[in-house]
Structure 1
Amino acid sequence: MIESHHTDLPGVLIIQPDRFGDHRGFFAETYSQRVYAELGINENFVQDNHSLSAETGTVRGLHFQGPPRAQAKLVRCGRGAIFDVAVDIRKGSETYGKWVGYELSAENGAQLFIPAGFAHGFATLQPDSEIIYKCSDYYAPETEVALRWNDPAIGIKWPVQGAAILSDKDSVAPVLADLESPFFWEG
């Protein structure tokens, strides 16, 4: 049995797969197309990504790909812990510019489903955190866009102590007010 819960952003789900454990460790089915379709996730995932962030306080994002290569993502943490964030960037949405964030960890096994039309980012809460995520389209750098991770208009409450560790691209990303979003709320 798998549990899913709606978040404050329509379409974004927090998912808790069952784990079966004993003295050796545990087993979890982290994705089944049939089971996830029953949850309303009908994406054709075509690419898996695996990222390691060595330092606590590393922030990656906020990123998205625009049409025609927009991506839905199914994110989990394979080692360590992250604070995973989705931001609604669909024009006309009642939740445009709003965000949700959840702790995903190797210990809790939780996943976050983020549909196309949302920017995504995360901050590491432990050293050597590994993030594993499925994407519904292939990486297309010509469609990739970044938003400023600490844009005060979005107001994400990142659990980062001290200065965030950022890529050069993320440190100079534009703010939401400068975004001409290619996504529209479809009701």
Structure 2
Amino acid sequence: MTLIRFNKPYGVLCQFTDEGSGRPTLADFVDVPGVYPAGRLDLDSEGLLLLTDDGRLQARIADPKFKMPKTYLVQVEGEPDTAALAALRSGVQLKDGPTRPAKAERIDAPDLWPRDPPVRFRKTVPDCWLTLTIREGRNRQVRRMTAAVGHPTLRLVRWRIGEWSLDDVPPGEWREA
């Protein structure tokens, strides 16, 4: 069995082919035959993507019924107050229904690699960083959750999935787990 931890850069598609678009794909970074992503990260999200050749493990990681925790470092616009953090912790109402409770904490800015392109900076609008751990995986869920409490996401980096983390993997590189 092969399991790879890949640090997906901003702007990379979570698939191996994209005919004719010219956008970078996993094939531009991972040269291991027979592995497929266990879950997805949006084009504008960064961080940990697990790839495996084991279908059962892929399902256990990706399928929401297994409730595997996923931890994100989230740069948000504004400075969430205790009520906004409490709302994230208890679950927020989205158009497709309420989310499960999340673990949400304000943190100091993490020591991350620069993003290309950089996140927009506005002198008049402060920003801050959160860690957010969820146990489901709806489309653009973290972004929709922070927006629902009044703090749009500026940068999103998945740091951990279950027991696997991004600790020693630079952007665009991978390591066997």
Structures share fold, TM-score greater than 0.5 = no
Structure in which a larger fraction of residues adopt strand: 1
TM bracket (short chain): under 0.3
* Normalised TM-score (structure 2): 0.24
Greater relative contact order structure (CA < 8 Å, 6+ sep): 2
Which of the pair is proportionally richer in helix? 2
